[in-house]
């Protein structure tokens, strides 16, 4: 774990010097340190890591083309002035808050022993393949979802494609879930693709307060401090705090720091269950796409309760883009069209 933290700290503190041998998109496994490092032209982009403290694999950190880190450092590599709430929010991840009654979203080392039987863990099982290339790199990994009763209920195969065009970096995610037993994703606000963003991308209008998970466990979140500049915008024109709990085919979060303007954008796919997704987009820094919650966001809707019978599979496609500029709605719509056209 110490090696993992040191590696993440090095990636945050500054990129390595580029070399001719490191040109293109490099995807380099380091299983001894429980990570796969991704660089573009020798500069750090992200790492796929599976530290046991997080109870799930994550991509951490996410670094934009201009070198700005857009994810929070805590809990893997804390930075001063950051919030230290929600220790299960680290980098970018994929999981859910209620599968067969077990909570995979909120699990971490901070959970009390008495509650561990109610939680679920996603265990990385193997690196299936890696590919490096001039214009794109690819990582395919397997993991398994294990309940607090120590029962394996889902196998997940995830394909990540990493690329860059101009000042935009892209992570395309394809997650295929196969039920090892009947798996019911009960209507819940905690899911499925999540990113915990850096302080400068938090909202200046966030009021803070106490937030409870589906089991009623409270987490207190303070009001924003100086430097919070983030503003959400969805494909349906919902802006700022009004984006939370609404649906759309894309959502972006724009903020500024040190003279840099950064956009973090998530694109939903028309083939995903529950399309178009609800945006679990909080001003304190949680940016999540949740297509499996429905009545939790809109009480007028019937619960979704998406279910896979044993042996059934389903696939989720998402594209996450980091723009080192303020992406316009037109630019976002073009990117959404291109993503859906390429991923049919």
Does residue 213 form part of some domain? yes
Does residue 54 form part of some domain? no
Does residue 52 form part of some domain? no
Beta-bridge partners for 278: 247, 290
Instruction: Say what the pTM is.
Output: 0.90
Q: How far is CA 151 from the centre of its chain?
A: 25
Apex CA 209: angle with CA 208 and CA 212, to 5°? Answer: 125
Does residue 70 form part of some domain? no
Instruction: Work out how many domains the chain is built from and give that number.
Output: 1
Does residue 57 form part of some domain? no
**Model confidence band, residue 18 (pLDDT cutoffs 50, 70, 90):** very low
CATH number of the domain residue 157 falls in: 2.70.98
pLDDT mean over 13-42: 80
Beta-bridge partners for 145: 122, 154
Is the peptide bond prior to 61 cis by the omega test (within 30 degrees of 0)?
Answer: yes
Does residue 308 form part of some domain? yes
Does residue 155 form part of some domain? yes
Neighbours of 198 (CB within 10 A): 23
Token pair in block for residue 35: 């990570």
**Model confidence band, residue 6 (pLDDT cutoffs 50, 70, 90):** very low
Which structural domain, as residue segments, surrounds residue 304? Answer: 86-342
Does residue 47 form part of some domain? no
- Burial of 1 (C-beta count, 10 Å sphere; 0-12/13-18/19+): exposed
**pLDDT on residue 3:** 37
Q: What is the pLDDT of residues 321-342, one digit of tens each?
A: 999 999 999 999 999 999 999 8
Q: What is the pLDDT of residues 215-262, one digit of tens each?
A: 555 666 566 677 999 999 999 999 999 999 999 999 999 999 999 999
């Amino acid at each position: 774990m110490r090696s993992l933290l040191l590696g993440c700290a090095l990636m945050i503190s500054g990129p390595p010097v580029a070399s001719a041998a490191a040109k293109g998109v490099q995807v380099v496994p380091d299983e001894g340190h429980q990570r796969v490092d991704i660089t573009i032209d020798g500069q750090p982009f992200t790492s796929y890591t599976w530290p046991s403290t997080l109870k799930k694999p994550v991509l951490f950190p996410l670094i934009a083309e201009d070198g700005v880190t857009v994810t929070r450092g805590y809990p893997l590599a804390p930075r001063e002035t950051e919030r230290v709430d929600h220790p299960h929010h680290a980098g970018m991840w994929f999981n859910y808050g209620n599968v067969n009654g077990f909570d995979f979203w909120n699990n971490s080392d901070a959970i009390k022993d008495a509650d561990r039987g109610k939680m679920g863990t996603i265990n990385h099982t193997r690196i299936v393949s890696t590919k490096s290339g001039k214009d794109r790199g690819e990582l395919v990994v397997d993991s398994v979802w294990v309940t607090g009763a120590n029962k394996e209920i889902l196998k997940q195969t995830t394909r990540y494609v990493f690329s860059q065009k101009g000042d935009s970096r892209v992570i395309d995610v394809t997650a295929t879930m196969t039920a090892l037993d009947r798996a019911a994703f009960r209507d819940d606000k905690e899911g499925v693709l999540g990113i915990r963003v850096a302080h400068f991308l938090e909202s200046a209008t966030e009021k803070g307060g106490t937030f409870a998970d589906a089991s009623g466990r409270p987490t207190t979140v303070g009001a924003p401090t100086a430097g919070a500049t983030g503003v959400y915008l969805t494909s349906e024109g919902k802006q700022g705090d009004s984006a939370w709990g609404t649906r759309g085919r894309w959502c972006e979060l724009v903020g500024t720091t040190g003279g840099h303007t950064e956009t973090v954008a998530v694109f939903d796919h028309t083939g995903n269950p529950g399309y178009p997704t609800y945006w679990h987009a909080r001003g304190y820094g949680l940016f999540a796409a949740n297509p499996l919650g429905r009545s939790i966001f809109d009480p007028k809707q019937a619960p979704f309760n998406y279910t896979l019978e044993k042996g059934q599979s389903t696939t989720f496609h998402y594209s996450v883009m980091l723009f080192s500029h303020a992406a316009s709605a037109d630019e976002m719509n073009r990117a959404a069209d291109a993503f859906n056209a390429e991923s049919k």
